[in-house]
Amino acid sequence: MHVKICGITNLDDALAAIDAGADYLGFNFYPKSQRFISPADCADITAALRNHASRVTPHAPHITFVGIFVNEPPARVAAILRDCGLDLAQLHGDETPEELAELKGRAFKALRGTGVKNPSDFVLNGQTPALLVDAYSPNTYGGTGHTADWAAAHVIAEQFPIFLAGGLTPENVADAIAQVKPWGVDVASGVEVSPRKKDRVKMQKFMEIARDEGRRTKDE
């Protein structure tokens, strides 16, 4: 079970997330988000993380850095990926399949709710994760704290490797994994003290429960 800790805004939280066992770290470049981070600040964090890893744990598994974007031109997304040393872009707005394709395998699409009739239009061959499924809000592009439609997410997860997002917490992540059977889970508000500060204990608890349930689900 792959775990993404999203909404990272400072180095201490990034290090705590990695110590807890996160596979992916998410940095939100949507200006209206409570967890917005500037490209310059993100670049400082990722550079520090790579320096830390090379000195302390040179053989540790690679942590994948993800930038979250909402309705940004693909050229700007690509530039921020380059400047911040990020691996992937998560397109969380109203982007088209054509805009996704412009990023040449370095992006995946977030589906908000069940309004997309053909999720496969946003799936690039062989890409993992293929999609992220989040809760829908008419006024907010993610980060609502609301749970997604798990039944609808399960249908998509049967076809593609997905991240499940939306209102996940240490208390409900086991049920979410059992019902949806996603490739990975994505959490932000569920492991926070406040929108810009993570809770180390909650991250560790979330990670342990997600991994345990992922193993149990896989063995079924």
Give the residues of the chain that fall short of pLDDT 50: 59
23 belongs to the catalytic site: no
Structural domain that includes position 177: 2-219
Q: What is the pLDDT of residue 160?
A: 96
CA distance 93 to 192: 23
The model carries a pTM of 0.93
Verify whether residue 219 is a known catalytic residue: no
Give pLDDT, residue 207.
97
pLDDT at res. 53? 75
Question: From CA 186, how far away is CA 133, in angstroms rounded?
Answer: 9
CB atoms within 10 A of CB 107: 25
Active-site residue, selected from the candidate residues 13, 42, 84, 134: 134
| Cα distance between residue 164 and residue 84, in whole Å | 25
What's the one-letter identity of residue 86? L
* Rounded-to-integer distance, Cα 47 and Cα 146, Å: 33
CATH code, domain carrying 65: 3.20.20.70
Place of tokens 């997905």: 162
Q: Which of 6, 13, 84, 186 is catalytic?
A: 6
Region for 177 from its dihedrals, namely left if φ exceeds 0, alpha if ψ lies in -120 to 50, beta otherwise: alpha
Overall number of domains in the chain:
1
For residue 7, the model assigns a pLDDT of 97
| DSSP conformation class of 36 | B
The reported pLDDT for the residue numbered 96 is 95
pLDDT score for 126: 87
